[in-house]
């Protein structure tokens, strides 16, 4: 299993999923369409390693995560993950659940905003990956299912009980986690899970365009916004205001802040460089 990646992501050749870097946008594609793109032990580890490496790659300024063949991700592979887990003892199972949680930690810790392009099935861990992204684009045929209870497990998996209520609300999250039912595209949009919907053929372009727009922004400031969105979950209002005062003052020390001012004075559009 891949645990660490060194060097720029543009030079890394992924083994268990597709990684494409175009300009400042990196696209991760779960690419087992014949099985609706299930995760394996290896793809879990490699995706987390890529996102961890992104912390040190200033050339990548936004991510897209998507799936191939009309589906996002069907969750953990039944034969390659679920079956073998039945043979593990408690320590072995804890190693697995800690490893899956590391993927969400890596998604939330990487400074680059993540856009999920969700078409078709996003079930189990696939629903979690969509949930843990910063922005979610879907299609009318998308079906998001936190179906852990359907296999005799709790809904508290990979941060679901912490993150999902903050997206759709406590009552709606409870419904999804207790019932394991599918959240369709239109309902997901109405509930705030999806930011917007696109036709399936338009989704890849829409996700790439949104990620590119984010990548053209001030990357240091975007990273600070992502960090504050994460940290302020556990803060009081006064603590949050104080933390944001420090964060914003740091952003004011960047050259991007000066570039924005100079561009405004010159009546031009600023070109941000991330420093």
170 contacts: CB under 8 Å, gap ≥ 6? none
How many angstroms from the chain centroid is the CA of residue 258?
A: 30
pTM: 0.95
pLDDT band with cut points at 50, 70 and 90 for residue 84: confident
Residue whose tokens read 């600023």: 270
Residue-wise pLDDT for 51-75, tens only, equals 999 999 999 999 999 999 999 999 9
- CA–CA separation, 122 vs 193, rounded Å? 13
Average pLDDT over the chain, rounded to whole? Answer: 95
Classified as helix, coil or strand, 143 is: strand
- CA–CA separation, 95 vs 146, rounded Å? 21
Q: Which of 1, 74, 64, 81 is nearest to 34 (CA)?
A: 74
Per-residue pLDDT, averaged over 234-251, amounts to: 95
Residue-wise pLDDT for 133-191, tens only, equals 999 999 999 999 999 998 889 999 999 999 999 999 999 999 999 999 999 999 999 99
């Amino acid at each position: 299993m891949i645990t660490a990646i060194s060097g720029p992501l543009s030079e890394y050749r992924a083994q268990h999923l597709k990684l494409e870097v175009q300009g400042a946008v990196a696209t991760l594609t779960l690419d087992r369409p014949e099985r609706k793109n299930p995760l394996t032990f290896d793809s879990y580890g490699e995706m987390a390693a890529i996102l961890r490496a992104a912390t040190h790659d200033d050339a990548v300024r936004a991510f897209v995560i998507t799936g191939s063949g009309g589906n996002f991700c069907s969750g953990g592979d039944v034969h390659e993950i679920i079956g073998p887990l039945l043979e593990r003892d408690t320590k072995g199972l804890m190693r697995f659940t800690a490893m899956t949680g590391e993927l969400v930690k890596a998604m939330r810790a990487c400074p680059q905003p993540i856009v999920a392009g969700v078409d078709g099935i996003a079930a189990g861990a696939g629903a979690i990956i969509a949930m843990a992204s910063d922005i979610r684009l879907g299609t009318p045929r998308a079906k998001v299912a936190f179906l852990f209870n359907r296999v005799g497990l709790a809904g508290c998996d990979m941060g679901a009980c912490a993150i999902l209520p903050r997206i759709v609300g406590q009552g709606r999250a409870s419904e999804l986690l207790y019932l394991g039912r599918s959240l369709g595209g239109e309902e997901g949009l109405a509930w705030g899970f999806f930011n917007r919907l696109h036709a399936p053929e338009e989704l890849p372009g829409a996700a790439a365009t949104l990620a590119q727009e984010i990548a053209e922004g001030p990357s240091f400031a975007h990273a600070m916004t992502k960090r504050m969105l994460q940290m302020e979950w556990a803060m009081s209002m006064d603590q949050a205001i104080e933390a944001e005062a420090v964060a914003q003052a740091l952003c004011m020390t960047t050259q991007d802040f000066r570039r924005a001012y100079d561009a405004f004075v010159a009546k031009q559009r600023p070109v941000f460089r991330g420093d």
